[in-house]
Amino acid sequence: MRLMVSGGGTGGHIYPALAVINELKRQDPDAEVLYVGSHRGIESKIVPDLGIPFEAMTIQGFKRSLSLENFKTLYLFLKSVHQAKKLVREFKPDVVLGTGGYVSGAVLYAAAKQHIPTVIHEQNSVVGMTNKFLSRYVDRIAINFEAARAQFPTEKVVMTGNPRAQEVANVESHFSLTSFGLKDGIPTLMVVGGSQGALKLNQVMVAALPQLAQRQYQVVFVTGPKRYDDVMAKVAGLESADNISIQAYVNNMPEVLPKVAAVVGRSGATTLAELTALGVPSILIPSPYVTADHQTKNAMSLVSQQAAVMVKESDLTSETLLKAIDELMTDDAKRQSMAAAAKRMGKPHAATEMLDLLRDVVAAH
């Protein structure tokens, strides 16, 4: 297979694409892949570092308000479509996969207009603007949440789950909590506000740490690299508590997650794919700063199945967080029930299902 992939801007768009590429290479080492991203997106560093052929385009998103900047955006989009058509002619893909972000809009549109088989993947429960635009042109639409189905042409939609889940589910973890200065075999909570941390969550955790240091369970508090020094300056003395570990960043999350009893975190699509793939109970604090409040809707998909509890950021205080944590970490039966519910929602074969869908679209053309 010759696969062209486009997705960028956030890890939520990139990691599902990489999971599909990795599974394709596992099944067919001779497969050819070309990843098309943007110059400014994090994919421009992540993808080439993995040895995957990469082409970059200059593109930006539309402003939601009236703005002269939108004329530049339209110009860059049309220029990118022209560039994408050239890349399609040169690479001659069997199929093109888009996983979201502005750059995928130009690439998938260009491919569809050249009658190349096309598939998009929507990670969230609320459909992104780019995928909404592309839905009328592509052959098939893969979704991760049932809530997204009604927002697309129904006849095109296929439930695959998030391909990232398969990568996480297949990790054989030998991680030890002693790497964090903690003990193995003791129920451990991980608190993490995303790759960059979350300011409000960090502030609340700093206030809650003196009480958490007195609990029988352990806590790994991941601040985000840019916020670590500020947090450490505010918790002087608490770093010596033998049940608390404060980390700036965790770069091997798929290996660490199987070793924790529960997670406090955001409800981005990648996070939820990882939690459900592994069956990890969670306290979800949706980010209020995302388009159409989609993280709340993502979280509700787990809450409705008793796989997670949710605390809105507007209700987040050290008291509300401590209450939610204590209720979960001191109740083994509740954690086991939530873990089983999360596991039932997991999609451990999502990358394989995505590849099957891509092959079906190629065969149908």
* For range 109-126, the mean pLDDT: 96
Q: Among 102-106, 118-122, 332-336, name the one with the lowest average pLDDT.
A: 102-106
pLDDT number for residue 195: 64
pLDDT tens string 94-112: 999 999 988 999 999 999 9
**Residues 272, 249: Cα–Cα separation, whole Å:** 18
Sheet hosting strand 157-159, strand order edge to edge: 54-57, 32-38, 2-6, 95-98, 118-122, 140-143, 157-159
pLDDT tens digits, one per residue of 182-204: 999 999 999 998 766 689 999 99
Band (338; pLDDT cuts 50, 70, 90) = very high
Which residues are annotated binding-site positions for UDP-N-acetyl-alpha-D-glucosamine?
A: 10-12, 124, 195, 295
Q: Between 188 and 42, where is the model more confident?
A: 188
Instruction: Tell me the two tokens of residue 147.
Output: 């809530």
Give the model's pLDDT for residue 59.
Answer: 61
For residues 207 and 280, the answer to whether their CB atoms sit within 8 Å is no
**Under DSSP, is residue 161 helix (H, G, I), strand (E, B) or coil?**
coil
In this prediction, residue 71 has a pLDDT band, given cuts at 50, 70 and 90, of: low
Indicate if the pLDDT at residue 68 is higher than 60: no
Q: Are 104 and 134 in contact (CB under 8 A)?
A: yes
Query: Which pLDDT band, with edges at 50, 70 and 90, does 113 fall under?
Result: very high
**How many other CB atoms are there within 10 angstroms of residue 26's CB atom?**
13
pLDDT of residue 55: 95
- Report the sign of the C-alpha dihedral through residues 244, 249, 255, 261, in that order: positive
- Average pLDDT over all residues of the chain: 92
Kindly report which listed range (76-90, 180-194, 322-336) carries the lowest average pLDDT score.
76-90
The arithmetic mean of pLDDT across residues 155-160, rounded, is 98
Mean pLDDT of 316-323: 98
Which has more confidence, 52 or 172?
52
User: Under the phi-then-psi rule, with left for phi > 0, alpha for psi from -120 to 50, and beta for the rest, what region is 279?
Assistant: left
Q: What are the binding residues?
A: 10-12, 124, 195, 295
* Contact in structure between 265 and 282 (CB atoms under 8 Å): yes
pLDDT average, residue stretch 51-80: 70
User: DSSP per residue over 214-241, as a string?
Assistant: TSSSEEEEE--TTTHHHHHHHSTTGGG-
List, as one string, the DSSP characters of 54-87.
EEEE---PPPSS--THHHHHHHHHHHHHHHHHHH
Closest CA to 168 of 335, 353, 22: 22
pLDDT at 60 over 60: no
Confidence band for 72, pLDDT divided at 50, 70 and 90: low
Q: What pLDDT score was predicted for residue 7?
A: 94
Which residue ranges form the domains of the chain, and what is each CATH number?
2-169+348-364 (3.40.50.2000), 177-345 (3.40.50.2000)
* pLDDT tens per residue across span 208-259: 999 999 999 999 999 998 899 999 999 887 766 899 999 999 988 999 999 9
- Tokens representing residue 363 in the block: 């065969």
